[in-house]
Amino acid sequence: MKKTTFLIAGLITLLSCLSSCSQQPTANKQASIPEKFTISKEVLMDKIKGGWAGQTIGCTYGGPTEFRYNGTMIQDYIPIKWPDGYIKWWYDNFPGLYDDVYMDLTFVDVFDRLGLDAPVDSFAMAFATAGYTLWHANQAARYNILQGIMPPASGHWHNNPHADDIDYQIEADYAGLMSPGMPNAASAISDKIGHIMNYGDGWYGGVYVGAMYALAFISDDIEYIATEALKTIPEQSTYYQCMSDVIRWHKEFPDDWKRTWFECEKKWSQDIGCPDGVFVALNIDAVINSAYILIGLLYGEGDFYKTMDISTRCGQDSDCNPASAAGILGTMLGYSNIPEYWIKNLKEVEDIDFAYTTISLNKTYQMSFDQAIQMIERNGGKVEGDNVIIACQQPVPVKYEKAFAGQYPIDKIPINKDLADVGEFTFEGTSVVFKGYVRCQKQDYVAKAEMYIDGELMEIANLPASYTTRRNELFWKYELPKGKHVVTFKWLNPIPDAAIVFGDAVVYSDAPMQITHQ
């Protein structure tokens, strides 16, 4: 997800530009969700395969562009290429690109081993102890879990400054794929697992993506899927309002996705939570990146290439967004209807295990199919011979929650000192987040440090030097009384050749900063 600098090297000489596929037929408009929906086992498997295939292809297609275009679209004259052997090349050279997929597979594997009623702690520990590198909300949750802060507290914004980030949104595909025609069942799964790492709008991103996958099994109308799935999101949420705007703007500007993109930038592009995205162009917030998924789906009009390409060209997290869009569309179309132009590269890797797993795509297809059958039967459906009868669900909204309520970024103050040289740090506001890291050649070293605010001990923190188990931010404290605050730190176990390095401090208050001009 956040590994762009590791992914780009050497690609220019590798890539060669090929022509794109032809457009799929226009879908029929749908009026309502049926009470029952009958689908053959063969078609059900085809759609599940299409979802996983689309996700993998979309992630690969956008890979070289990820977070290289922040706050700007990727212009039409910039080629996004698809050479032969492309997916295999990424598997061999930068397998971390597929964090979208192997994070999903962590949860699929737990369901496979422990069943549909597997406790949330099993999912939490599975990804917290996995060998892959994580970023943002996922890494914050991993740290929390390893420190004994279990879900849902691990994803709550008081404990996770990245609670609104995109993380669960990119890994919620499994929930929809195992819940065909049952968006509320997908939401229930996401309630349990999505709160491991996210809260509020960050969680809603995964709920919405899961619902769109679920409805893609029973409808071939993308606009209907997008609109019905949105009923799983509380209307008062920022997330709902943004997606509703995208659907409305698509109707107002049906032939101009760039106009809708621009309207989104004007109204919805601010990021207030992620300490890496405040005061800069980078935006990993679920709201705007979900908007880019939706722009691709609506303006893609059922065409696999067009859907992927538009979601990618919206920028920001431009491998994860086309992965979600292509996965949802791939579920709607089915594997057998994804053009060979895209599938031929995928076929080269379908028997290869994803990095950090013992699961290949071919294994994933079967595991996901088996779980879907179990979910269908558990939720009032049944299997009759070669047919599967789904008891479809009318979407209902999940609970309302909001991260960073009343928090307004007002300053980012550079510190750029080791802890020993920080002394007293003074700020005026209601909240503060200190960015930084521990530098030490001994990767098993864990610094222990205290933070005091206005003379009161706020926290004794364990700060691992290991990048895999690191704390994303050194310290933070939200919802202090408004006013001037003095922060000091104490390092309890210093060792030679180690340092606790402070970067910036992000300061919040209870109202936006007022800009005045002399």
Give residue 518's pLDDT. Answer: 60
Give residue 27's pLDDT. Answer: 41
Q: Which residues of the chain have pLDDT under 50?
A: 1-27
Strands (E), 351-392: 382-384, 387-391
**Residue 515 counted as domain residue:** no
The CATH number of residue 453's host domain is 2.60.120.230
Residues 308 and 178 reside in one and the same domain: yes
CB 153 within 8 A of CB 144: yes
Q: What is the pLDDT of residues 368-417, one digit of tens each?
A: 999 999 999 999 999 999 999 999 999 999 999 999 999 999 999 999 99
Instruction: Choose the final residue of a domain: 361, 391, 421.
Output: 391
**Residue 396 counted as domain residue:** no
Rounded distance, CA 495 to CA 447, Å? Answer: 9
**Residue 23 counted as domain residue:** yes
Residues whose CB falls within 8 Å of the CB of residue 15, separated by 6 or more in sequence, listed in order:
64, 79, 81, 83
**Residue 517 counted as domain residue:** no
**Residue 399 counted as domain residue:** no
Residues 435 and 313 reside in one and the same domain: no
Instruction: Choose the final residue of a domain: 391, 418, 452.
Output: 391
Residues 340 and 483 reside in one and the same domain: no
Residues 249 and 328 reside in one and the same domain: yes
Instruction: Choose the final residue of a domain: 391, 421, 443.
Output: 391
Instruction: Quote the number of domains for the chain.
Output: 2
**Residue 518 counted as domain residue:** no
Residues 353 and 461 reside in one and the same domain: no
Domain that holds residue 146: 4-391
The CATH number of residue 103's host domain is 1.10.4080.10
Residue type, 118: A
**Residue 403 counted as domain residue:** no
Give residue 482's pLDDT. Answer: 97
Residues 356 and 415 reside in one and the same domain: no
Residues 415 and 363 reside in one and the same domain: no
Residues 173 and 214 reside in one and the same domain: yes
Closest-CA residue to 408 (of 426, 378, 430, 423): 430
Give residue 17's pLDDT. Answer: 33
pTM of the complete model = 0.94
Residues 383 and 417 reside in one and the same domain: no
Rounded distance, CA 371 to CA 363, Å? Answer: 12
Residues 332 and 220 reside in one and the same domain: yes
Give residue 262's pLDDT. Answer: 98
- Coil, strand, or helix at residue 501? strand
Residues 414 and 384 reside in one and the same domain: no
Q: Which residues of 17-33 are buried (b: 16+ CB within 10 A; e: fewer)?
A: eeebbeebeebeebeeb
**Residue 502 counted as domain residue:** yes
- Angle, helices 286-300/238-252, rounded to nearest 10 degrees: 30
Residues 387 and 413 reside in one and the same domain: no
